[in-house]
Structure 1
Amino acid sequence: MVHSLIASYDLHKKMTCISPKQANQHDLRTFHSESYISHLKSADDSTIANAESDLDSDDDDLPEDSAEYGLGFDCPKIKDLQSFVKIIAGGTISAAKLLTSQTYDTVINWCGGWHHAQRDEASGFCYVNDVVLGITELKKKFERVLYIDLDVHHGDGVENAFSFTPTVLTYSVHHLSQGYFPGTGAISSIGCGKGKGFCVNIPLKEGASNGTFVSVFKRTMPRVITNFRPSVVVIQCGADGLAGDPLGAVFNLTDTAYKECLQIVLELKLPTMILGGGGYNKANTARCWTNLTALVTGQKLDVDIPEHDFFEEYGPDFQLRIEAGYRPDKNSKDYIDALVLEVLGNLEEVDVNTTQV
């Protein structure tokens, strides 16, 4: 739906469209453990065997130790799991290589952004952490990588991967409350060891509006840029913070919030990788990412969606705009002011002039 909507506006003609290479086992091992990669293969083999013998495919058919690798529940076994993982990872690695080769200065991979997967565990629908693999590729060329996560869920897998290093600063604006996945991303989580200060977490309460979301971004990002001086930016634009998302279900954003944050990033004139992420209202996710693609390519789009293969999914109004709901914003001015003040204080730990990289 995303790519079809982009094409219906002829935005693909304003970009160079490149077919990515699948990742190989060596690529996956730059972050994921050998045991986890091997287990994914064994889980895939069991799925194929069950399919060939006409057995029902359910989690009971997984290898016995699958639970310790996070398979089952929110990361169920799926057919062709190995190929799926290699395609997802390969897209973001290929995008990173376009930046390191200096062939392009802005790359988009809406199929990327699977930020929850851990080194040896699937988590939160994410079987592979393409974000970490992409950043690892970028580090071959760029000295300091700024990772920005706009998904309503905390980017825990990426933060965990780089929490001890001062060469990657992770910045996540998300919701945090008891029982809300993944349960991490407190403002006090700022990194460890040499990486202390290089994790920035901005947890917002329910109902965050465009104004709240953009305000905290505008009030904190300049200090991040000044203190960290990134060489390249990776921005994950998970769309599950949009109003009416059936799974994110807590924020009240429209595409305007994402566009304003992305515009700030683009104005830095740094090599930039733009990734997708969550988004469970498929029509609104496609609307949002199409609007962001238009922003990157400098195009103004007609609000009336052109007829195309998925046109009926955009009813009843068949328009590109996303409307905010009526959920109250529980982020008071005092809360936001205190949040911003603490974040700015934490950023005093970040000084590339004195930190040994």
Structure 2
Amino acid sequence: MAMQPHSKKRVCYYYDSDIGNYYYGQGHPMKPHRIRMTHNLLLNYGLYRKMEIYRPHKATADEMTKFHSDDYIRFLRSIRPDNMSEYNKQMQRFNVGEDCPVFDGLYEFCQLSAGGSVAAAVKLNKQASEICINWGGGLHHAKKSEASGFCYVNDIVLGILELLKYHQRVLYIDIDVHHGDGVEEAFYTTDRVMTVSFHKYGEYFPGTGDLRDIGAGKGKYYAVNIPLRDGMDDESYESIFVPIISKVMETFQPSAVVLQCGADSLTGDRLGCFNLTVRGHGRCVELVKRFGLPFLLVGGGG
């Protein structure tokens, strides 16, 4: 698949000013406030002039149950800090509690995160944009009926399901320091989505993403895992990322790409153990962009 020369791309950016108000609780490493800080950088650098900015709709229960189970979404909609004691059994069943706490506005937070990724996918499907961004998304650990790793609703899976309405093959790439387990699991048995995850592996959350996990059934060889050691720097990362992604593009030939840009692979992250710089992380994004395919970028950890 040929690289595209630099041409002017229409960029759409999804952001809701409420997203920074949600608070997972004292000492919790997941801080939605960072999405607001990122937005302020975008304003102060003048980057907003180069894109269309949209406020996403709140994803409906109907939209979220395209992937998640009805009873799980019903639970997320019902639970609040003041009625938690009534839901002890369900909290255990749906893995809500410590890593994934109940906080004020939890359901609305999920709606905004998912709404941005679904709206971005619709925009790409309509060919009304070439690049769509939802930094409030990227919650790649959420499962069909279970919260996991600070993630409740898997906006990425919902976005990919939307893209699959118009695209025969969608490529998912994950450069968060953690394995993109929820997305891989959702598409493990299909050949229409290839999932490629670069992540720290061994005694590390979520514990999945072994090199030998390659998909199953029709999806065999359509899950690609690149387990990495601590301390990966820009040069080492790029020497792995460039040939793998180039080969994946050539063999899979997707017609749309989703990139999870988790920033916890950057140096200094309190949970990650990689040594990527912002420039090295950005070069991964740039490489994927150069293929010139409809491109959905989401956030993630860090």
In the alignment, is residue 65 of structure 1 matched against residue 90 of structure 2?
A: yes
Instruction: Provide structure 2 residue ranges, at least 5 long, that are not aligned to the other structure.
Output: 1-36
Deviation at 1:61, TM superposition (A): 6.2
- The alpha-carbon deviation at position 62 of structure 1 amounts to 4.2
Instruction: Say if 2:162 is the partner of 1:162.
Output: no
- In structure 1, the partner of 2:18 is none
Structure 1 residues 64 and 192 mapped into 2: Cα distance closer, same or farther (>3 Å)?
same
1:269 partnered with 2:292: yes
**Within 2, Cα distance between the matches of 1:36 and 1:214?**
39
**1:89 maps onto 2:119 in alignment:** no
Match in the other structure for 2:46: 10
Distance between the aligned counterparts of 1:101 and 1:200, measured in 2? 29
Q: What 5-or-longer segments of structure 1 have no aligned partner?
A: 51-58, 280-357
Q: C-alpha separation between the residues in 2 aligned to 1:133 and 1:126?
A: 14
Quick check: 1:129 aligned with 2:154?
yes
Residue 173 of structure 2 contacts residue 260 of structure 2 at CA under 8 Å; is this kept in 1? yes
Task: Provide Cα deviations, 1:131-179, integer angstroms capped at 9, x if missing partner.
Answer: 000000000111100000000000000000000000000000000012x
Distance 1:274 1:258 in 2: 13
- Cα deviation, residue 64, structure 1: 2.5
TM (normalized to structure 2)?
A: 0.86
8 Å CA contact 1:206, 1:251 repeated in 2: yes
After TM superposition, what 4+ stretches of structure 1 lie above 4 angstroms from structure 2?
59-62
1:277 maps to a residue whose letter is: G
Whether the 8 Å contact between 2:266 and 2:281 is mirrored in structure 1 is: no
Superposed CA RMSD = 1.1
- Aligned counterpart for 2:124 among listed residues 99, 111, 132: 99
Deviations 1:163-202 (A, max 9, x none): 0000000000000012x10000000000000000000100
Q: Partners of 1:260 and 1:87 in 2: how far apart?
A: 28
CA change 1:61–1:4 in 2 (3 A) is farther
Match of 2:72 in 1: 36
Aligned-pair CA distance for 1:107: 0.7
Paired-residue identity, %: 47
2:212 corresponds in structure 1 to 188
In structure 2, what is the Cα distance between the partners aligned to 1:273 and 1:123? Answer: 23
Opposite residue 272 of structure 1, the aligned amino acid is F
TM-score of the pair, normalised by structure 1: 0.73
* 1:142-153 → structure 2 map (5 Å cutoff): 142-153=167-178
- The partner residue of 1:243 within 229, 253, 267 is 267
Amino acid at match of 1:211: E
Residues 174 and 204 in structure 1, CA contact (< 8 A), matched pair in contact too: yes
Give the aligned length. 266
Which residue type is aligned with residue 6 of structure 1?
Answer: L
Deviations 1:201-222 (A, max 9, x none): 0000111111111111112111
How far has the Cα of 1:40 moved from its partner? 1.1
The structure in which a higher percent of residues are helix is 1
Of stretches 257-266 and 116-125 in structure 1, the one that deviates more from structure 2 is 257-266
For the pair 1:221 / 2:245, whether they are aligned, the reply is yes
- Secondary structure at 2:207 match in 1: coil
